Amino acid sequence: MKPSVLVVGGGMVGLAFGLAVKHALPEAAVRILEARALPTDTNPNPLDTRASALNLASAAILRRFGVAERLLPMGAPIRRIHVSNQHRFGSTLMSAEELGEPCLGWVVDNHLIGRALQLVADKQGVVVQAPCDVVRLIRGQSPAVELGDGSQLSADLVIVADGAHSSFREQLGIGADQRDVQQVALVANCLFEGAQQGTAFERFTRHGPLALLPLPHAIPGQQRFNLVWSMAPDQADQYSQVDNGELMSALQQAFGWRLGAVIDMGLRSRWPLIRVRAQEQIRQGYLVAGNAAHGLHPVAGQGLNLSLRDSWALAETVATAAARGEALGSITALRRYEQAVAADQERTVAATDTLATLFSPAFWGLNTPRDLALAGLDLVPPLRRWVARRGTAAGRPMGRLLTTTATTATAAATMASAEAPS
């Protein structure tokens, strides 16, 4: 019988995990169950979209899944990362040239990522069933799920990718460390004057970390950026209510004039930030993935990137299990997955937590460690190159796929004082 896999949740991670299984086992029957209706092809206003920074490792994985060729040309390459502190002297610039890479990553609109994953899934025979509400997991002889209409589906492996507030993680008896970090990410696309140079900015402001990620834009003389500004909930409430002019001037004041004047801003969205870490990720027949397994602060833009690396580990896991004649959902096979992802997850979560804490408004008064780290990086190019490469996975089985990780460069900056370059 051909192997079968069900994925609960068709967000970016659920789709990527479905494609990972199909990549490793083209004969497998893969079905993704998504509660929401699939987005249509209609093009939203480019100022009203969300975006993600994808690092080079993610690009390499998406290339293996057959998604990158379609997707990356629709994004903007990140050629430099500029990190700075509002009102302080420390700042640093990391560039692709210094690392001998054409770019450090890409920024792509989320709806384009989702759409490209769906189209490739469709092409490869992965079934995306939506809208389709999964109401419970059935833990019997073989893993199964019950749908809203009362029907049941079973498979060799069920992947649970139902997001940070996962009810199915709980149903599996898997606990999670969940912390409300008392911050909200205010997200909006903005237009600045001038031509897009491909620099991503991370600036530590009085309210919290502010990221501006470059995006492609069709109109010459304007550059589009995705703003992700983390701040206390009451500040986010206030900024959600003011008019565009007021928010643009607050942004201009906090970010400065490096990009010239902010000339427009699109719809704002708010993302209450919770930090989630599942205590385990496997049960016989089940695997927990994506935000359900680890929900990270967006300060380093690592949530999706980490999950894509996890998806590659799953591809390797199921290929090995099939070659050895093991059931895909066997504990033996799934433990191999757990071992493969453990160190990467540990490192990425720890770096993100450190960065989120160090650059939170609560620590605003303690600028000196940040200033020294940033100034030190700027003064010592080899150290900066080492930091920018800190997210690589050389030596691991995925090492050949992974080169530098764009936003990990920022996260890695925080570790610069803890570890010396060899």
Ligand X SMILES: Cc1cc2nc3c(=O)[nH]c(=O)nc-3n(C[C@H](O)[C@H](O)[C@H](O)COP(=O)(O)OP(=O)(O)OC[C@H]3O[C@@H](n4cnc5c(N)ncnc54)[C@H](O)[C@@H]3O)c2cc1C
User: Which residues are near ligand X by CB under 6 A?
Assistant: 8-14, 33-36, 52-53, 133-134, 161-163, 185, 187, 228, 271, 290-291, 298, 301-305, 307
**φ and ψ at 124, to 5 degrees?**
-90, 5
Cβ neighbors of 368 (< 8 A, separation 6 or more) are none
> Based on CB atoms, which residue is closest to ligand X, 227 or 248?
227
> Based on CB atoms, which residue is closest to ligand X, 168 or 192?
168
**φ and ψ at 200, to 5 degrees?**
-95, 135
- Minimum distance between the CB of residue 143 and ligand X, rounded to whole angstroms? 15
> Based on CB atoms, which residue is closest to ligand X, 148 or 369?
148
What tokens does 301 get?
A: 């833009």
Q: SS3 for 333?
A: helix
> Based on CB atoms, which residue is closest to ligand X, 34 or 378?
34
> Based on CB atoms, which residue is closest to ligand X, 18 or 163?
163
Closest C-alpha among 231, 330, 225, 349 to residue 287: 330
- Minimum distance between the CB of residue 252 and ligand X, rounded to whole angstroms? 21
| 33: Cα separation from own chain's centroid | 21
- Minimum distance between the CB of residue 11 and ligand X, rounded to whole angstroms? 2
Closest C-alpha among 230, 205, 204, 227 to residue 215: 227
Closest C-alpha among 166, 161, 164 to residue 179: 164
- Minimum distance between the CB of residue 296 and ligand X, rounded to whole angstroms? 7
- Minimum distance between the CB of residue 223 and ligand X, rounded to whole angstroms? 18
User: CA 185, 186, 188, 191: dihedral to nearest 10 degrees?
Assistant: -100
The CA-based angle 145-147-152, given to 5 degrees, is 55
> Based on CB atoms, which residue is closest to ligand X, 17 or 378?
17
- Minimum distance between the CB of residue 160 and ligand X, rounded to whole angstroms? 9
> Based on CB atoms, which residue is closest to ligand X, 53 or 153?
53
- Minimum distance between the CB of residue 54 and ligand X, rounded to whole angstroms? 7
| Cα–Cα distance, 54 to 399 (Å, whole number) | 17
The number of C-alpha atoms within 13 Å of 340 and in the hemisphere containing its C-beta is 23
> Based on CB atoms, which residue is closest to ligand X, 162 or 378?
162
Closest C-alpha among 231, 222, 163 to residue 196: 222
| Cα–Cα distance, 306 to 291 (Å, whole number) | 10
> Based on CB atoms, which residue is closest to ligand X, 169 or 378?
169
Would you call 251 exposed, middle or buried from its count of C-beta atoms within 10 A (0-12, 13-18, 19+)? buried
- Minimum distance between the CB of residue 272 and ligand X, rounded to whole angstroms? 9
- Minimum distance between the CB of residue 105 and ligand X, rounded to whole angstroms? 9
